[in-house]
Structure 1
Amino acid sequence: MQQISVARLFDGQNWQQNVTLTIKAGHIDSIQPATGPVLSGSLMPGFIDVQVNGGGGTLFNTDTSIEALRTMVKAHAQFGSTALLPTVITDSVAVMQQAAAVIAQAIATKEPGIIGVHFEGPHLSVPKKGVHPQNFIRPLSEAELAIYKRTDLGIKLVTVAPETISLNKLKS
């Protein structure tokens, strides 16, 4: 059990003044009026960013390393993000596999701030592709499906154009 007393706490709905949080097993168990000294400042939940292409001068598609993830987490933390899904935009299967490997490593070693991965593409609509490189836009293959089925990637978010995905392929 751990206790933290703070001057201001945002509980998700209201600001509370001079309170003590009791934390058990990593979860807030109670919030009570503080009876002793309190830390100055404010305590509030952090943001979870589900689309982080990069940060701190690094881009995840071009630097799929633990160091890149740490740089991205640090860059986004200054704006209140406490957890994120590093995002790989439409790219080769090799880049997707390397990204999955480093995410799996980060999850296994409990790298702070990394809770999964976001694959934005490559199964997109060419007319609505935006900045995604057209030469990598493709139908779902067994190689991508194998990545998406991995159980060691934490939270997985896959952005697709629904008209590019066969339901029969997903049921396999």
Structure 2
Amino acid sequence: MTSRPVAILHAAIYTPTRRIEDGAVVFAGGRILALGPTREIRPPRPAERIDAQGRPVTPGLIDLHIHGLEGCDLFGPELTEVARRLPRYGVTAFVPTTLTMPEEEILKRLRAMAQVMETPPRGARILGIHIEGPHLSPKRPGMANSAWFRPLTPEAVARYQEAAAGCIRLWTFAPEEGEAMQAIPALIAQGIIPVIGHSDATYDQAMEAIRRGARQITHFFNAMRPFHHREPGLFTAALLEREVITQLIADGQHVHPAAIRLLFQIKGSAGVALISDAAPMAGLPPGRYTWLGYEVIVADGRCQTPEGALAGSIALMNEGLRVLIEEAGIDPLDAVRSATLTPARALGLRRMGQLRPGAFADVVLWARWGTPEAVWIHGERIV
């Protein structure tokens, strides 16, 4: 890590609880030292000075839900390469997400991921593992093979967490399946955040899961029971419960801009966490690919199965941030918060996702929205 302080001057800074016009941020030793209007900041004499010329500066993006990129599948040892490549997209921390497979194969791959996390690679921070499948609803399978689905049990929680060496941080499941509701205390006891997803839960079932401790919804709008005025479902429970955070894919394919605006109006940026749900084909040219035994087609900005089901996204967090601002019309301050501070708080992380004195120096200077110009992780310039 470089010991020389860095001072970014004359930037549009999104902290993201406020915007500072013609702002400056100074960091060294991996932490933010000072922040404020450029005219009020006096950088240390040896500092590297960067004139942002009014371009945006934000905290590093935090992705709670990602499967891979550029041909690398992070569900196994390629997690190392994904961590190295993600900063190119403005991502400084992430939660690698698994895929539905036979249990023995999942446990084998969890062990490989835990090995990588024992000696973290240079690049984006790995914040834990996100389990997505096989504890899903066969009525809302998405691209997953429902033949491998099983209701979640406390015993499964223990097996998976042991294989992952205690690294599992998020767990997406359908609480209405079998006795899955009984597994929520086991998740919480293991330090795992219960996440409802790929679920056909009714309103009452969703509310019961929330009362027991579920606090997030996986890719809201997608792979879930839709709203109906006589059975409002998970959709309405998530919107009405203030403490529930909705993960949102904003790739221009999964959710219409009007639905994005509706979600932000109801939940606010503190209740929406931007995710990529990026498949390993993100960053690759159009074509047919195989993803852990699943055939997928990349064309027209979509990644889908031959039957037409969306199979993750081919857009990373930087593109999602651009879509929020430029296509959905979300205020940049709210958009940035949904990609930084909200996911950090969803994980209980107090020194990440924001620019303030004492916080980790995870910083992105943007050439324009969607295009990172420079990225620092813990004060070290990566891109």
Aligned to 1:85: 95
Please give the alpha-carbon distance, in whole angstroms, between the structure 2 residues aligned to 1:87 and 1:152. 15
Aligned to 2:161: 148
Over 3 Å counting, the alpha-carbon distance change for 1:40 and 1:99 in structure 2 is farther
Q: 2:107 aligns with which of 97, 117, 120?
A: 97
The amino acid of 1:5's aligned partner reads A
Over 3 Å counting, the alpha-carbon distance change for 1:3 and 1:10 in structure 2 is farther
Over 3 Å counting, the alpha-carbon distance change for 1:20 and 1:86 in structure 2 is closer
Percent pairwise identity: 23
Written as runs of structure 1 = structure 2, the 5 A alignment for 1:62-73 is 64-65=76-77, 68-73=78-83
Tell me if the contact between 1:19 and 1:34 (Cα under 8 Å) persists in the aligned partners.
no
Gaps of 5+ in 1: none
Give me the CA root mean square deviation. 2.8
The amino acid of 1:53's aligned partner reads H
Tell me if the contact between 1:123 and 1:140 (Cα under 8 Å) persists in the aligned partners.
yes
Aligned to 2:117: 107
* Structure 2 residue 55 is matched with structure 1 residue 47: no
Normalised to the residue count of structure 2, the TM-score between the two structures is 0.38
Shift of 1:30: 2.8
Please give the alpha-carbon distance, in whole angstroms, between the structure 2 residues aligned to 1:22 and 1:71. 27
Shift of 1:27: 3.2
Written as runs of structure 1 = structure 2, the 5 A alignment for 1:1-172 is 3-7=5-9, 8=11, 9-12=13-16, 13-17=18-22, 19-23=24-28, 26-31=30-35, 33-35=41-43, 38-41=49-52, 43-61=57-75, 64-65=76-77, 68-111=78-121, 112-113=123-124, 114-141=126-153, 142-148=155-161, 152-153=166-167, 156-164=169-177, 165-171=179-185
Tell me if the contact between 2:80 and 2:116 (Cα under 8 Å) persists in the aligned partners.
no
Shift of 1:39: 1.5
Gaps of 5+ in 2: 187-383
Normalised to the residue count of structure 1, the TM-score between the two structures is 0.77
* Cα distance per residue 1:90-142 (max 9 Å; x no partner): 11222322332233223221233222111111111101111111121112353
Please give the alpha-carbon distance, in whole angstroms, between the structure 2 residues aligned to 1:144 and 1:118. 12
Shift of 1:45: 0.8
Between 1:90-99 and 1:9-18, the stretch displaced more is 9-18
Tell me if the contact between 1:51 and 1:118 (Cα under 8 Å) persists in the aligned partners.
yes
Tell me if the contact between 2:60 and 2:91 (Cα under 8 Å) persists in the aligned partners.
yes
Tell me if the contact between 1:53 and 1:87 (Cα under 8 Å) persists in the aligned partners.
yes
